[in-house]
């Protein structure tokens, strides 16, 4: 080998201080080993925030809206029913309220003396509000009588109705005659095999049946049959 070629090889492999020069492969290896690790970051696509929440809220609002609509309608129906019940009670109760008369002032009680014209009440029950059955007309009067001597007043009313019918029976229907020809209110209840408590509860249902917007004649008739057919009521106590 030529001396010059040998010198070139030495210069290519060694530095002037005698240390070996770093080869490309060793440098590459060192860079590969000593280079800090790089994390492989995975890119995720985020969903648009709030879409699911908005959808859930929309469904909730629709459901609440439906419930509020149904609830408002139910409240309105109840209010209308109660108003109609009150109207019917007032109309039928005029046989009592329109026949209440007053006298002198009772200073001790702080009010005027008053009493019922039972003859006028009896006539009104028989002759007025013929669009209602006779039992409901009787109850309408009973319902509006004052608590003071209420049963005694009803006794006198039945006695007066019996007299009116006896004087002119052709003027009245079979149902009116059957319902009113009694000597007392208790006789009337006994004829129907019903207690006073049961009577009040049942007749309250009859009034509500009349008050319904879609009044069912069948419902009214069914309730009245429980009143008039002894033994058909559940728990009848007589």
13-72 residue pLDDT tens = 555 665 655 554 555 555 555 555 556 556 655 555 566 677 776 677 666 656 555 555
Q: Which position has the token pair 């009577």?
A: 199
What does the H/E/C string look like for 102-162? Answer: EEEEECCCCEEEEEECHHHHHHHHHHCCCCCCHHHHHHHHHHHCCCCCHHHHHHHHHHHHH
Counted domains in the chain: 1
Residue 75: pLDDT band (50, 70, 90) is confident
Query: What tokens appear for 15 in the block?
Result: 């530095």
Structural domain includes residue 219: yes
Q: DSSP labels for 25-55?
A: HHHHHHHHHHSPP---PPP--PPPTTHHHHH
The residue-averaged pLDDT of 120-144 equals 97
The residue-averaged pLDDT of 142-163 equals 96
Structural domain includes residue 13: no
Structural domain includes residue 62: no
What pTM was computed for the model?
A: 0.67
162-203 residue pLDDT tens = 999 999 999 999 999 999 999 999 999 999 999 999 999 999
Structural domain includes residue 66: no
Residue 92: pLDDT band (50, 70, 90) is very high
Residue 168: predicted pLDDT? 97
What is the overall mean pLDDT for the chain?
A: 81
Structural domain includes residue 55: no
The residue-averaged pLDDT of 94-123 equals 94
Cα(207)–Cα(223) distance, rounded to whole angstroms?
10
Which of 2-11, 116-125, 189-198 is the least confident region? 2-11
Return the percentage of the chain with pLDDT > 90, whole number. 55
Domain enclosing residue 125, as ranges: 91-228
Residue 234: predicted pLDDT? 52
Which range among 30-39, 80-89, 228-237 has the greatest average pLDDT? 80-89
Structural domain includes residue 206: yes
Structural domain includes residue 172: yes
Residue 27: predicted pLDDT? 53
Structural domain includes residue 188: yes
Residue 24: predicted pLDDT? 46
Which of 132-146, 148-162, 210-224 is the least confident region? 210-224
Q: Where are the beta strands (DSSP E) in 168-236?
A: none
Cα(208)–Cα(205) distance, rounded to whole angstroms?
5
Residue 31: predicted pLDDT? 53
């Amino acid at each position: 080998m030529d001396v010059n070629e040998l010198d070139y090889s030495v210069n290519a492999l060694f530095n002037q201080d005698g240390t070996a020069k770093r080869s490309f492969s060793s440098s590459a290896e060192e860079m590969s080993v000593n280079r800090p690790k790089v994390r492989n970051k995975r890119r995720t696509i985020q969903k648009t925030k709030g879409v699911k929440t908005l959808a859930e809220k929309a469904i909730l609002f629709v459901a609440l809206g439906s419930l509020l609509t149904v609830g408002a309608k139910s409240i309105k129906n109840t209010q209308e029913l109660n108003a109609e019940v009150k109207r019917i009670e007032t109309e039928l109760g005029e046989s009592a309220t329109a026949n209440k008369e007053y006298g002198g002032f009772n200073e001790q009680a702080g009010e005027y003396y008053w009493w019922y014209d039972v003859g006028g009440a009896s006539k009104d029950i028989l002759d007025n509000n013929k669009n209602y059955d006779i039992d409901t007309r009787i109850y309408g009067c009973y319902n509006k009588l004052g608590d003071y001597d209420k049963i005694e007043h009803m006794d006198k009313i039945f006695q007066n109705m019996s007299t009116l019918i006896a004087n002119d029976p052709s003027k009245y229907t079979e149902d009116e005659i059957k319902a009113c020809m009694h000597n007392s209110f208790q006789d009337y209840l006994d004829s129907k095999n019903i207690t006073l408590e049961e009577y009040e509860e049942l007749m309250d249902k009859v009034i509500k049946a009349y008050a319904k917007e879609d009044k069912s004649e069948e419902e009214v008739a069914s309730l009245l049959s429980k009143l008039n057919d002894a033994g058909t009521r559940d728990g009848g106590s007589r």
